[in-house]
Amino acid sequence: MFIERSSARLRTVRTLFVLLGLLPCAGLCGWAAIRHSAAHRRTVESRCEQVIGLPVRIGRVEHVRPDAVRLHDCGLATADGGVLVAAAAVDVESSSTEVRVSVGRVECTPRLARAVTALVQQWLSQPARFERDCVVEVGELCWQGSTSSDRQAADRRTGLRIECVAAADGGRAVRISGGAGDGARTDELRVLATVADAAGDLVGPAALRLEVTGAVSVPLPVAILEACLGCEPGGLALGADAVVSGRIASVREAGGWSGTADGLVERIDLAVASAALTHRMSGDATVAIERIEWSRSRIAGCDCRLVATRGMVDQGFLDALVSTLGCRPGPEYRTATADRPRAFDEVACRLRLGPAGLDIRADRAAGPAIAVVRGGTILEEPAAAVPLERAAWLFSPPSALVVPASQASRWLMGAFSDDVLSAGEGFRGRDSSRTPAEQAGRPARRNDF
């Protein structure tokens, strides 16, 4: 009797051990195997691709805690297979309302900037696709091909933070910020989309009302800027080393973009900037934009300073400045080698553009000189402002007839508002005694000067 009872108890204990010990352990082992399987990794890749819209590569998935994973050996590619960005590890935390992504270091290229800009536009205009808020934190951000000084500036930053959230008024907002390591400076860009259709959902990108405000103090490469603006590569022909900083406040409505900005464009390569123009130049230049205004996507006013050092300029361009814009020749205007490119030590001038036309003034401590070489004056400031239409002749070939038809002149006449372009009518009725007659028309032959 005692042995039969002991046998029953043993069977009961063994059954309980299998049910409560071995089976859960086997289940956990199987669950862990699935979590570390290639199929699970491909499932995570597929989910990421559905959200981002680009191919994603993940080497290994690590579940560090509930609703938090660490993706190892990650890569983001383009549709044609090119690599946009690679990271050793990416941390992703998710909840019912938000997704947080953390990356240690990112090297930003123009292709990556273009892809991120497109993704931000999609997030603003497609709320059904992106149901949760998203926060992306980058520990260190640097630019591809950055110089040592640029990398030192980037190292002083704590990184970059991108917040994509639902706005309080039912719109969508994106905030991109990056601060100095000591917290003394914060660069920030905000984009707010506020237009809704009859159904209450945000409409397509072209119909959104966008408000853009921001300030960037750490110089941004021009190649990255043109990628964010949607320009073709090389569209802002300022040179590979050109950088931009400044502030902007702009609104896009049905009539186009309107707003104001100020900033600094440094390391401009004049050889690259003038490659598509009739006349060639070389040297390094800096443009300080005190204020620029635009309305309905056309420039309405501009006040800026230009400084160029140690360069060359075609004599034909100097002749055009005299004959077309009314600049006055200085003692060094003509030399024995006048037909060759002319050297200059410094060009410093201030340009104002508005309803009064184009006004060029010297920006030097003493005298009206706007271009000097070896202490002598090459050109002096014009006696008066001129209509903007005259500036189109500067960018036209000498064979152009009544209407300049070069690509640069078409852009110039199409980039400014009607108020600025019509300023020339007021000049025709003014006293033209301040502008010499030989400097008021189309540039003549060089030997006529």
SS3 annotation, the chain: CHHHHHHHHHHHHHHHHHHHHHHHHHHHHHHHHHHCCHHHHHHHHHHHHHHHCCCEECCEEEEEECCEEEEEEEEEECCCCCEEEEEEEEEEEECCCEEEEEEEEEEECHHHHHHHHHHHHHHHHCCCCCCCEEEEEEEEEEECCCCHHHHHHHHCECCEEEEEEECCCCCEEEEEEEEECCCCCEEEEEEEECCCCCCCCCCCHHHCCEEEEEEEEEEEEHHHHHHHHCCCCCCCCCCCCCEEEEEEEEEEECCEEEEEEEEEEEEEEHHHHCCCCCCCEEEEEEEEEEEEEEECCEEEEEEEEEEEEEEEECHHHHHHHHHHHCCEECCCCCCCCCCCCEEEEEEEEEEEEECCEEEEEECCCCCCEEEEECCEEEEECCCCCECHHHHHHHCCCCCCCCCCCCHHHHHHHHHECHHHHCHHHHHHCCCHHHCCHHHCCCCCCHHHC
More confident residue, 158 or 175: 175
Q: Copy the structure tokens of residue 346.
A: 């410094």
- pLDDT higher than threshold 60 for residue 3: no
Distance between CA atoms of 298 and 255, rounded to whole angstroms?
A: 11
pLDDT of residue 442: 43
pLDDT of residue 84: 87
pLDDT of residue 189: 93
pLDDT tens per residue across span 185-199? 578 999 999 865 544
pLDDT tens per residue across span 82-133? 788 899 999 999 998 899 999 998 888 899 999 999 999 888 888 888 888 9
pLDDT of residue 184: 52
Distance between CA atoms of 335 and 40, rounded to whole angstroms?
A: 76
pLDDT tens per residue across span 224-241? 999 998 888 888 889 989
What is the average pLDDT across 408-437? 53
Distance between CA atoms of 20 and 6, rounded to whole angstroms?
A: 21
Distance between CA atoms of 284 and 243, rounded to whole angstroms?
A: 12
pLDDT band at 341 (very low <50, low <70, confident <90, very high): confident
Distance between CA atoms of 89 and 75, rounded to whole angstroms?
A: 10
* Residue bearing tokens 């201030």: 350
Q: Which of 187, 224, 244 is nearest to 113 (CA)?
A: 224
How large a percentage of the chain has pLDDT more than 90? 33
More confident residue, 246 or 416: 246
Largest distance between two CA atoms of the chain? 133
End-to-end distance of the chain based on CA atoms, in angstroms?
Answer: 132
* Residue bearing tokens 């992306």: 136
More confident residue, 200 or 385: 385
pLDDT of residue 52: 85
More confident residue, 221 or 200: 221
Distance between CA atoms of 331 and 295, rounded to whole angstroms?
A: 42
